[in-house]
Amino acid sequence: MRRITLLFLLIGVTYAAGCATSPPSGSSAVAVIEARGMSCPQCAGSADRRLMMIDGVTWTRIDLGRGTVTVGLDPAKPTPDAEALRDAVRWAGFTAGSVTWMNDTEAGAAVR
């Protein structure tokens, strides 16, 4: 049992470290989605996979403590609408709230 718990802890720390990387420099816009019900790295992975299926989404940053998902958008592609982003969070099994749009500089300051 201890080995399984340790394995899940290691996977969670590894995933969280990957989510904490800074956004790619070429991205010019981000969306911050309120997401309730996520409590573990597996939850974050589920939301990440769903959001990455949306054309135009280039990266995600999931903050379990704040209950937010920050999504980087490709400036060369049409911007997905807020409802598509909320639907992806809902399909992953979580409650989606408001979507706030900002540029990547504002988003970087907001998550520090």
User: pLDDT tens digits for 22-70?
Assistant: 444 444 789 999 999 988 889 899 999 999 999 999 999 999 999 999 9
The span from the first CA to the last CA of the chain, in angstroms, equals 36
pLDDT of residue 104: 67
User: pLDDT tens digits for 60-97?
Assistant: 999 999 999 999 999 999 999 999 999 999 999 999 99
Overall pTM > 0.85: no
CA 104 from chain center: how many Å? 14
Alpha-helical regions (H) of 1-112: 2-19, 41-52, 82-91, 104-110
Mean model confidence pLDDT for the chain: 79
